[in-house]
Structure 1
Amino acid sequence: MNTGGDRPPRHIMLVAGETSGDTLGAELMAALKEMSPFPLVFSGVGGENMEREGLSSIFPMTDIAVMGPREIIPRLPLIFRRIWQTVRHAVEAKPDIVVVIDSPEFTHMVAKRIARRAPSIPIVDYVLPSVWAWRQSRARAMKKYIRRVLALLPFEPAFLRSAGVDCVYVGHPAIHRVPEAGAGARFREVHGIGPADPLLLVLPGSRLNEVKHLIGIFGDVVKQLARDIPNLRVVLPTVPHVRELVERAAASWPVDVLVVWDETEKRAAFGAATAAMAASGTVALELGLARVPMVIAYRAEAIVGWFALSVLKIPSVVLVNLILDRPAVREYLQSRCTTADLLDGLRPLMSDTAERHRALADLDELRARIGVGGVPPSRRAAQAVLELL
């Protein structure tokens, strides 16, 4: 759209803190530019994808894309400097609206401080922190500094409205990242993988710390599977900032490992896969919508993992299970994240078994519940932001 003529531009500040937020932010920016009735200017914090859409990040997003005490504690002085730098930018630039995207440990600290110093600036939260999972009282606290939440999951609006928080369900971007028809077959053909060859996706995460915790045990599982399944093929989708680590680890695996980092290749690999072994996170939903049976793993430093699981308010960390309201996907957390346990869950998914058929039926139900097709979530999110302008 953007046919504003002489209308003054509107300034939208966006703040993302890691790779997934950068992707969401870029999709939102593209939709905003297409749908806005007036010119737009952008500022804030983002990565390569948001910069391609016109954002000049006020500092490198990699400064704050950290996870776990070992990474966070040494960088606390830098992280706090970046928080205040972001807040100062908002107060001085006076944007018409601020959109904070995921990474609540950083973005909500920024949002609270902007709200105190510039209360007239509306703040939108894109991706609700998992308050329904950890700290349910936090939802009520968000009323003080968040004007509107853009929810990705169908059960979130009712939860937030019960706490008095304005919430618009926009849908999960994974809905529109399912592989195109025929992409999986083309992927196998291009990479010399036979139509009947068992193909395992290995996804150890996008954050350095989670990759470090999982890549070794995932490698042990692959080594055992390779002995059980002589024609096993492995694809390892990754992101640029952990690519070197995963390639170095996979070099010792007794199978040819295809490492992919391009988003189109990754989606095609999902369409080609027999099954997947993945770190807990959004990728479980992406796999589910692509109809890839999976096992999910989580491992962290002992005290961090113990604390995380002890305060959990939900029966599962897997979004597929929460949406279906049953344990459709096996999850292996902390002490249960062992080679033997992962193999026990993964083996039946690699061939034509009753377990695999049940898994596929569950994932078909997931696709029906969450909705595949329709208006893209990024456009729904853009509309919800433009309404506040």
Structure 2
Amino acid sequence: MVAGEASGDLLAGLLLDGMRARWPDLRAGGIGGPDMARRGFEAWWPHDKLAVRGYVEVLRHYREIVGIRKQLQQRLLRERPEVFIGVDAPDFNLDLEAGLKAQGVKTVHFVCPSIWAWRPGRTEHIRRSADHVLCLFPFEPALLAQHGIAATYVGHPLANVIPMSPDRGAARRALGLPEEGEVLAILPGSRGSEVRYLARVFFEAAARVRQARPGIRCIVPAMPALRPAIEEAARAAGLGEGLTIVTGRSHEVLAACDLTLIASGTATLEAALYKRPMVIAYRMNWLTFQIMRRQQLQPWIGLPNILCGDFVVPELVQDRANPDTLAAALLEWLRAPDRMAAVQQRFTALHHLLQRDTASLATDAIQNLLES
């Protein structure tokens, strides 16, 4: 297995639970993170080696990433596993899967690349690379079938992990937050490049929100490796008093908050499943942004908006993701409780749509592939 970042590590860990229930003697190794390691996964490289987003950013790490993929492919062709499962990270995994499939190793890709959002030309790459695709969203298998790609809708595993009615009070007690009063969660991303582009902007926006609503508390879940950079960004933005930084615990933070300022990515879906209103933002290298914008097929970048087919929450990208506009969008939510309640109902319906026995359905599909 290969999972290339924190969200992939979480998905792969849940999949490993289902596979171990089916095959207790399962041996699994490759590239992964702490959630996979807790399931007995043997990580030959840590998952954060692949946690790079954007064309320009990847170029800086290109030689190392290609070297890892070459070494991994050579090892897998020597050891001949029953199946290789690439978890998301399509730019790394699809090429690896193509090389393995060509040599007779069965390949599964878990998380359909978002061909419905951008880069539709990847369909041929997927067909050449994956014997089977495990899809998180219900409309994806029919889309892949049009291109001759076998796929199964397995639901989104986070929809089973996250409770339908989160306990805000319990989460606040666990985090040491007061049970009364407004709480803003700040999630500037799980990659170093995201924190570099977003953290200070997010904290400066939060400082403006606190000027307008002095009683609001701010909380940030930080990955251990990124915590020093996040702390420095908070200091630089002058956001000290009323700010809590915790290591990890992003789900507790989302359960505890009233509202979140959040980087575009899987975390936005987690926030939606916690029924939290949000402002989605993203900034990146200018050249990367220009390239990606030209390949975008839909008007939305945030998963909650894509899945709802509407701008149910604001999206502010690149130059529009500045402290003033972000703060204004956050304050609009806080001043409109009826609007907050309406989006929570929308997210409850989305949660029901995505809730399936993901681990069992995915394991069934893998077993069918192995027996075919």
**Which category of TM-score, normalised to the shorter sequence, fits these structures?**
over 0.9
Question: Partner residue of 1:72?
Answer: 58
Question: Partner residue of 1:311?
Answer: 295
Shift in Å at residue 75 of structure 1? 2.5
The structure-2 alpha-carbon separation of the partners of 1:74 and 1:141, relative to structure 1 and needing over 3 Å to count, comes to closer
Matched residues, number: 368
Between stretches 189-198 and 250-259, larger displacement belongs to: 189-198
Question: Partner residue of 2:91?
Answer: 105
Q: Secondary structure at the match of 1:133?
A: coil
Name the amino acid aligned to 2:16: M
Deviations 1:73-104 (CA, angstroms, capped at 9, x unpaired): 33222211111111101110011111111111
1:35 to 22, 26, 30: 22
Deviations 1:258-299 (CA, angstroms, capped at 9, x unpaired): 222344xx3232222111100001111111111100010011
Flag the structure with more relative contact order, 1 or 2, with Cα contacts below 8 A and sequence separation at least 6. 2
Name the amino acid aligned to 1:339: P
Normalized against structure 1, the TM-score is what?
0.88
Q: Secondary structure at the match of 1:346?
A: helix
Question: Partner residue of 2:367?
Answer: 386
Runs of 5+ in structure 1 lacking a partner? 1-13
Between stretches 169-178 and 279-288, larger displacement belongs to: 169-178
Shift in Å at residue 179 of structure 1? 4.6
Q: Partners in 1 of 2:4 and 2:28 — Cα distance?
A: 16
Equivalent runs, 1:67-146 vs 2, <5 Å: 67-69=53-55, 71-116=57-102, 118=103, 120-146=104-130
Question: Partner residue of 2:45?
Answer: 59
1:276 to 260, 269, 279: 260
Between stretches 38-47 and 282-291, larger displacement belongs to: 38-47
Q: Secondary structure at the match of 1:59?
A: strand
8 Å contact 2:187–2:262 — kept in the other structure?
A: yes
Q: Partners in 2 of 1:60 and 1:142 — Cα distance?
A: 25
Deviations 1:141-178 (CA, angstroms, capped at 9, x unpaired): 32122100000112211211111111101111220232
Runs of 5+ in structure 2 lacking a partner? none
8 Å contact 2:300–2:311 — kept in the other structure?
A: yes
Identical pairs, percent: 28
The question of 1:171 aligning with 2:158 is answered: no
Q: Partners in 2 of 1:159 and 1:58 — Cα distance?
A: 34
The question of 1:24 aligning with 2:11 is answered: yes
Q: Partners in 2 of 1:81 and 1:206 — Cα distance?
A: 23
Q: Partners in 1 of 2:223 and 2:143 — Cα distance?
A: 33
8 Å contact 1:274–1:349 — kept in the other structure?
A: no
The question of 1:300 aligning with 2:287 is answered: no
Q: Partners in 2 of 1:243 and 1:280 — Cα distance?
A: 19
Between stretches 281-290 and 318-327, larger displacement belongs to: 318-327
The structure-2 alpha-carbon separation of the partners of 1:325 and 1:43, relative to structure 1 and needing over 3 Å to count, comes to same
Q: Secondary structure at the match of 2:298?
A: coil
Question: Partner residue of 1:340?
Answer: 324
8 Å contact 1:177–1:286 — kept in the other structure?
A: no
Deviations 1:207-233 (CA, angstroms, capped at 9, x unpaired): 110111011110111110111011110
Between stretches 304-313 and 51-60, larger displacement belongs to: 51-60
Normalized against structure 2, the TM-score is what?
0.92
The question of 1:197 aligning with 2:202 is answered: no
Shift in Å at residue 367 of structure 1? 2.5
Name the amino acid aligned to 1:80: V
8 Å contact 2:164–2:351 — kept in the other structure?
A: no
The structure-2 alpha-carbon separation of the partners of 1:60 and 1:325, relative to structure 1 and needing over 3 Å to count, comes to closer
Name the amino acid aligned to 1:359: V
Q: Partners in 1 of 2:116 and 2:166 — Cα distance?
A: 38
8 Å contact 2:209–2:330 — kept in the other structure?
A: no
The structure-2 alpha-carbon separation of the partners of 1:381 and 1:50, relative to structure 1 and needing over 3 Å to count, comes to same
Q: Secondary structure at the match of 1:143?
A: helix
The question of 1:321 aligning with 2:305 is answered: yes
Question: Partner residue of 1:291?
Answer: 275
8 Å contact 1:226–1:255 — kept in the other structure?
A: no
8 Å contact 1:226–1:254 — kept in the other structure?
A: no
Equivalent runs, 1:164-243 vs 2, <5 Å: 164-179=148-163, 183-243=167-227
